[in-house]
Structure 1
Amino acid sequence: MARFEVFGVAVFMVLLLSMVMTTPYATNATITCGEVTSLLTPCIPFGVFGGIVPPDCCAGIKGLNVAQNTTEDRRTACTCIQEGAARIPLIDYDRINTLGDLCGSPCPYKVYPSTNCSQ
């Protein structure tokens, strides 16, 4: 089982990184998809398998919340998270939407496939 988890995490990281490299954003946001991905990659195992939230995941969520200074930053981060999560097989949206509260840094939005990040 551990071998599958390591392989699965590696596959998810590759998928998430490929999203960053193929998704252009021309906005006034100061945050980029690359930064969002870097901050939230440690959260992927929790989003798929559950268990204990990694400390690096909480640090990333707190860093992301600090970096979202404007409405455009929040829209960009929301879109990046939404598109990245959609590329991760078996992601549990309900689980990933609990991360902000679990880490003591609530997210200003919930991300689901149906979320309209432009609002």
Structure 2
Amino acid sequence: MANSGVMKLVCLVLACMVVAAPHAVDALTCGQVVSNLAPCLTYLRRGGSVPVTCCIAVRSLNAAAKSTPERRAACGCLKNAYKSVSGINAAIAGGLPRKCGVNLPYRISPSIDCSKYTLSL
């Protein structure tokens, strides 16, 4: 009988995890934004050809930021990362999304006002 109670508890916990999981991954954190774009750092400093892994990260980040608040948050994270990482070439950073086939309504820069951007469908 005790084994049956444990199984019910396990099933309840699993059910809660399944229901809560989509909500837990909806929020895009600055840590995720910065770690996703780590493959781009050398390119952003030195130029050359864009690494495939960098473009995959850029497209993945763009797809992950689905709502206007998420896009604004990602923009703010990019802005803060831009300011805190030394040696980033402004022209290269501004053109990175386009080089990876991503259309953003702004150029990545340390002076961008992220509150002005909305999700365009």
Q: TM-score, normalised by structure 1?
A: 0.71
Question: For residue 56 of structure 2, what is the aligned residue in structure 1?
Answer: 59
Return 5+ residue gaps in structure 2 as ranges: 1-25, 117-121
> 1:44 matched to which residue of 2?
41
1: distance between equivalents of 2:66 and 2:56? Answer: 17
Aligned pairs for 1:72-111 within 5 A: 72-111=69-108
> Are residues 1:68 and 2:69 paired?
no
Percentage of matched positions with identical amino acids? 36
- Matched residue pairs, number? 91
Deviation at 1:70, TM superposition (A): 0.7
TM-score by length of 2: 0.70
Cα shift at 1:93: 1.8
Pair member with larger Rg: 2
Separation (CA, whole Å) in 2 of partners of 1:103 and 1:112: 17
In the alignment, the residues of structure 2 paired with residue 32 and residue 108 of structure 1 have an alpha-carbon distance, to the nearest angstrom, of: 21
- C-alpha distance in 1, partners of 2:54/2:104? 13
Flag the structure with higher helix content: 2
Cα-Cα RMSD: 1.3
Please name the residue that 1:114 is paired with. 111
Once the 2 structures are TM-superposed, how far is the Cα of residue 82 of structure 1 from its aligned partner? 0.7
